[in-house]
Chains A and B, each alone.
Chain A
Amino acid sequence: MSEVKKPKNVREPLFHLAKRDNLSGKKALLIRLSAIAVGILITCIFGFLIVGWTPLDILQTLIDGTFGTSNRRWDLMEKTAILLCISLAVTPAFRMRFWNIGAEGQTLVACLVSGACMLKIGDKVPNPLLLLIMLVASVAAGALWALIPAIFKAFWNTNETLFTLMMNYVAAQITSYYVYIWSVPKGSGHVGIINSTTKAGWLVSIGDKPYLLTILIVAVMTVISYIYLNHCKHGYEISVVGESEKTARYIGINVKKVILRTMIISGAICGLTGFLIVSGADHTFIKDSVGGLGFTAIMVSWLAKFNPLAMTFFAFLIAFLGKGSNEITTLTGLDSSFANIVTGLVIFCVIGCEFFINYTIRFRKKETPAAEKPVAPAKTDEPEAETETTEKEAQS
């Protein structure tokens, strides 16, 4: 702090904020983990007020609902994998600061295309070829859906957040349109399980584990994304465009090309996810096939600071919370939206804690020790403990 003499009547503010240069990875991790713990604690308190269960009961149900049986474990893994895959998809775009919130739509068109292939050519071609066609078609559909806003962004600087948001609903209505056309029985509004007898277009299961292939594919994708983003020229270009478009232009990066290419990749991975959803798990498609995962994935990607490996953890966390809280509501007969509340609460805590990782609070230096008490704004989801660690670091 500067030792410049201040005029007497000018009050230095009680505290001010300064950007932290780099917090050690361990401390950052600790802050994040404690934020998650606080989020779960709030959930427990909330659950106690609503359901009347003790926090221990709630925790036990959360764990039992996700790990209780072999089926539940596989289900949890599959949900994690799908969420992770969409998160991987949005990440390249986000690293470029292209706010693609259209993953929902991009995945949904892929679901539609996959389902359409199963319906229309399911009995005409051999299964391996069908799967290949489905994969290619859905990847292409996802990529196309992402390419449209990218073109407008690259050439006319159209606001991509709003554009991709609108594209979600266009995709939803188109899907709905085809669901009605192909619905069985006619006009019922759902397609039903496609090819339930021939299993044409169903992703093959390894052993008797139905979701194993999906999980393996996503695991491979995670590693590939990590390498692509961190150890490739493309990944570097994406980061530069994200940091500063002008810098990118000066050093000779074709910004338009990078935007288009990255969005095609982003949409293609969404397409892959759509294929995995329809072929690997649902074997049908509806308007809600993606069910908001496209939006959740954005949060996962951001919470993980766009790091594919960290995303694995956050995707798992969100899937765990969702599935676990569904168990609570099933047992108590309450509305299943409890899961959304829990997810929201935990995400709020993690979002809030980012602040304490990026910034430090410096308090006014004063003779009286009274000024030393934490002055974090009153109504916050943040734990006191975090404020204190921040303070200590600020003083050290």
Chain B
Amino acid sequence: MIIFSFIRRAVMQGVPLLYGSTGEIITEKSGHLNLGIPGIMYMGAIGGVIGGFFFEQTGADFSHWYIRVLAILIALFCSLFFSCLMGLLYCFLTVSLRANQNVTGLALTTFGVGVGNFFGGSLIKISHADVPTVTLTKTSSCFAKHLPFVDTVNKMAADNKCPKILAELCQTIFSYSTLAYLSIVIALIAAHVLMKTRVGLTLRAVGEDPATADAAGINVNRYKYVATCLGSMIAGLGGLYYIMDYASGVWSSDGFGDRGWLSVALVIFSLWRPNLAIIGSFLFGGLYIVHNYIGGLSMQAQELFKMSPYVMTLLVLIFVSIKEKKEALPPAHLGLNYFREER
């Protein structure tokens, strides 16, 4: 049943991308191209690690359920806090100080990746802790909890009490952690809010034509601030999921890799629609690991396979711009700052 294990791994690869691109879509809908997403995701991850690390260092007893809940909350809070700070910094520089978005975003990425790797690599030295590596097995196990009945079904299948295929299917659908399901829920909510509600309409108006939105009495800057900070926090969760669930709480330098940029690519691929991003993220996740599942691939061929998500994004980008489908184009004011007196 290699197909099931492939799907499972693809989904697990896709979840950080989904968080990242949902966050970026919300930000981009407000007209801000936040190229700091990779840095923000690193910050989300390291936030969770720092929170979890110091909590584990207190020697709390993880056998109590309330300690486990507390561990989750602390890591979650730190992660959201760090990524929100990054979002605020980006907003402050681009919305209030009207700095160039590309430059600010790239600086944010440099900074965020730097902070992530620096604290990930030196946390022990700084805190004088008596541990060899940053390994948050306990906190991570709280995050990685999946639904209990999956194990039951697995056991039944092992005892030949139910068909194997059912067990595999059950595992493929239900075996992920809460954060994974949360990513889908957030993406669906985001899609609904963007396309079906007043707030979403306003946000899109801000991204398409801030001057008109301003004239209609919308507080443009507030929308930009809220959208960017919210987007950053969602993207930060992607980092948290990666470190707590996918990497089992083990920090490795540059372990997160280029997933941040892949999320930015996914935004284009999914045509700025969070619901399409769900499918897109799993597809990207699959493309990211498919080389492990094709037998007899040489090392160099694997490298070419890793190129496929980017090539597909390029093709979508080209196709969409040639077709000129209005609803599939980037927000008209993407990347441009708005200053009322410059109209």
Residues in B with CB closer than 8 Å to A355 are: 96-99
- Distance of A222 Cα from B110 Cα, bound (Å): 26
Q: Judging by beta carbons under 8 Å apart, are B118 and A344 in contact?
A: no
Q: Judging by beta carbons under 8 Å apart, are A340 and B93 in contact?
A: no
Q: Judging by beta carbons under 8 Å apart, are A334 and B113 in contact?
A: no
Q: Judging by beta carbons under 8 Å apart, are B106 and A341 in contact?
A: no
Answer whether residue B311 sits at the interface, using C-beta atoms and an 8 A cutoff: yes
- Among the 9-residue stretches B171-179, B234-242, B275-283, B313-321, the one with 4 or more Cβ atoms under 8 Å from chain A is B313-321
Residues in B with CB closer than 8 Å to A162 are: 264-265, 268, 313, 317, 330
Ranked 8 nearest A-B pairs via Cβ: A340-B114, A344-B111, A335-B121, A173-B307, A337-B117, A180-B300, A355-B97, A158-B321
Residue of B with least CB distance to A358 = B98
Answer whether residue B335 sits at the interface, using C-beta atoms and an 8 A cutoff: yes
Q: Judging by beta carbons under 8 Å apart, are B100 and A379 in contact?
A: no
- Report the minimum CB–CB distance from B97 to chain A (whole Å): 4
- Report the minimum CB–CB distance from B56 to chain A (whole Å): 20
Answer whether residue B219 sits at the interface, using C-beta atoms and an 8 A cutoff: no
Most buried by B among A18, A19, A162, A187: A162
Q: Judging by beta carbons under 8 Å apart, are B318 and A158 in contact?
A: yes
Partner-B contacts on A (CB < 8 A): 17-19, 50, 99, 101, 152, 156-159, 161-163, 165-170, 173-174, 176-178, 180-181, 187, 189, 292, 295-296, 298-299, 302-303, 332-335, 337-345, 347-348, 351-352, 354-355, 358-359, 377, 379-380
Q: A335-B117, A337-B117 are in contact. Are A354 and B96 (CB under 8 A)?
A: no
Q: Judging by beta carbons under 8 Å apart, are B261 and A333 in contact?
A: no
Q: Judging by beta carbons under 8 Å apart, are A334 and B321 in contact?
A: no
Q: List 19 A-B contacts (CB under 8 A).
A: A17-B341, A101-B106, A156-B321, A157-B321, A166-B311, A169-B307, A174-B307, A177-B301, A181-B300, A333-B125, A335-B118, A340-B118, A342-B114, A343-B110, A348-B93, A351-B97, A352-B99, A354-B99, A379-B92
Chain B positions 322-343 with a Cβ under 8 Å from a chain A Cβ = 322, 330, 334-335, 339, 341-342
Q: Judging by beta carbons under 8 Å apart, are A299 and B106 in contact?
A: yes
Answer whether residue B294 sits at the interface, using C-beta atoms and an 8 A cutoff: no
Number of residues from B at the complex interface, CB < 8 A: 61
- Given A296-B110, A299-B106, A344-B110, output 8 extra A-B contacts at Cβ < 8 Å: A156-B318, A156-B322, A162-B265, A165-B264, A303-B103, A334-B118, A338-B114, A354-B99
Answer whether residue B131 sits at the interface, using C-beta atoms and an 8 A cutoff: no
Partner-A contacts on B (CB < 8 A): 33, 35, 88-89, 92-93, 96-100, 102-104, 106-122, 125-126, 253, 258, 261, 264-265, 268, 298-301, 303-304, 306-307, 310-311, 313-314, 317-318, 321-322, 330, 334-335, 339, 341-342
- Distance of A347 Cα from B104 Cα, bound (Å): 8
A-B contact count (CB 8 A): 176
Q: A334-B125, A341-B118, A354-B97 are in contact. Are A173 and B306 (CB under 8 A)?
A: yes
Residues in B with CB closer than 8 Å to A165 are: 35, 261, 264-265
Interface of B: prevailing SS:
helix
Residue of B with least CB distance to A101 = B102
- Report the minimum CB–CB distance from B85 to chain A (whole Å): 9
Residue of A with least CB distance to B108 = A344
Contact of A158 among B92, B109, B317, B341 (CB under 8 A): B317
- Distance of A292 Cα from B264 Cα, bound (Å): 17
Q: A165-B261, A296-B110 are in contact. Are A176 and B121 (CB under 8 A)?
A: no
Q: Judging by beta carbons under 8 Å apart, are A295 and B104 in contact?
A: no
Residues in A with CB closer than 8 Å to B321 are: 152, 156-159
Residue of B with least CB distance to A339 = B114
- Distance of A187 Cα from B302 Cα, bound (Å): 12
Residue of B with least CB distance to A333 = B125
Contact of B310 among A99, A166, A302, A340 (CB under 8 A): A166
- Report the minimum CB–CB distance from A207 to chain B (whole Å): 36
Q: Judging by beta carbons under 8 Å apart, are B300 and A347 in contact?
A: no
Q: A335-B121, A338-B114, A341-B115 are in contact. Are A166 and B265 (CB under 8 A)?
A: yes
Residue of A with least CB distance to B315 = A166
- Report the minimum CB–CB distance from B158 to chain A (whole Å): 38
Residues in B with CB closer than 8 Å to A177 are: 300-301, 303-304
Q: Judging by beta carbons under 8 Å apart, are A295 and B109 in contact?
A: yes
Q: Judging by beta carbons under 8 Å apart, are A335 and B110 in contact?
A: no
Residues in A with CB closer than 8 Å to B121 are: 334-335, 337
- Report the minimum CB–CB distance from B2 to chain A (whole Å): 25
Contact of A163 among B261, B317, B322 (CB under 8 A): B317
Contact of A99 among B96, B299, B301, B335 (CB under 8 A): B335
Residues in A with CB closer than 8 Å to B107 are: 299, 344, 347-348, 351
Residue of A with least CB distance to B97 = A355
Residues in B with CB closer than 8 Å to A299 are: 103, 106-107, 110
Residues in B with CB closer than 8 Å to A358 are: 98
- Report the minimum CB–CB distance from A57 to chain B (whole Å): 17
- Distance of A360 Cα from B325 Cα, bound (Å): 41
Most buried by B among A166, A299, A348, A380: A166
Most buried by B among A170, A296, A334, A341: A341
Residues in B with CB closer than 8 Å to A173 are: 303-304, 306-307, 310
Q: A19-B341, A302-B103 are in contact. Are A347 and B92 (CB under 8 A)?
A: no
- Report the minimum CB–CB distance from A44 to chain B (whole Å): 16
- Report the minimum CB–CB distance from B277 to chain A (whole Å): 15
- Distance of A292 Cα from B102 Cα, bound (Å): 15
Q: Judging by beta carbons under 8 Å apart, are B113 and A337 in contact?
A: yes
- Distance of A178 Cα from B301 Cα, bound (Å): 10
Residues in B with CB closer than 8 Å to A343 are: 110-111, 114
- Distance of A152 Cα from B89 Cα, bound (Å): 33
- Report the minimum CB–CB distance from B36 to chain A (whole Å): 10
Residues in B with CB closer than 8 Å to A345 are: 111
- Report the minimum CB–CB distance from A328 to chain B (whole Å): 11
Q: Judging by beta carbons under 8 Å apart, are A344 and B317 in contact?
A: no
- Report the minimum CB–CB distance from A16 to chain B (whole Å): 9
- Distance of A334 Cα from B173 Cα, bound (Å): 42
